[in-house]
Amino acid sequence: MNTYRYVFASKCPSDDETIIYGLEVRSKEMIRVEAIKDACAEWPTGFQEAIAADLRDVLGAAISLRAQHQGIEVLTELDAPSAPGMASVDAAEDARKYRELLYAVGNKYPGESRHETALRYIRRAEEPTGEKAAAARQESK
């Protein structure tokens, strides 16, 4: 079992207070530390429970997320994502493929997450060019 610990900040959408979170990720598989940092960076603002659920799904691992907010300690603990039968295998494989896709992005655009830059690359690659672009323009007239 691998255990990863990381501290990050996010603003509470209710009162705009900056919350310092302590994250613990537990996985039998290796998770790149960059994946953990990038997943946390996707949450500049958010409620702890939503952040925790997203991190569990994106990282494909069990997590604990701890923070103090307005004097109350909040601990969110979630098991690794799973579903009966092949769904859990498919979800784990999808998460692995998603991480692979994100880390194929060597240089993200300033101000963008790896996800946003990967999406930009894919959309640009899917734009019609040459004869296909001319045909698409003609069709839209």
Are 95 and 87 in contact by the 8 Å Cβ rule? The answer is: no
Q: Can you tell me the distance from the alpha carbon of 133 to that of 23, in angstroms, rounded to the nearest whole number?
A: 47
| Residue 63, φ and ψ in degrees, nearest 5 | -140, 155
pLDDT at 137: 64
Structure confidence at residue 3 (pLDDT): 97
Domains and CATH numbers, the chain: 2-82 (3.30.1130.10)
Q: Are 83 and 60 in contact (CB under 8 A)?
A: no
Q: What b/e readout covers 30-49, taking b as 16+ CB neighbours within 10 angstroms?
A: ebeeebbebbbebbeebbbe
Residue 48's pLDDT is: 95
Element housing 66 (H / E): strand 62-69
Give the model confidence (pLDDT) of 53-77 as tens digits: 999 988 989 999 999 999 999 999 9
pTM: 0.61
Low-confidence stretches of the chain (pLDDT < 50) are 84-88
**46 to 2, 13, 90, 135: CA distances (angstroms):** 27, 6, 28, 44
Distance CA 79, CA 63 (A): 7
What per-residue confidence (pLDDT) applies to 32?
A: 92
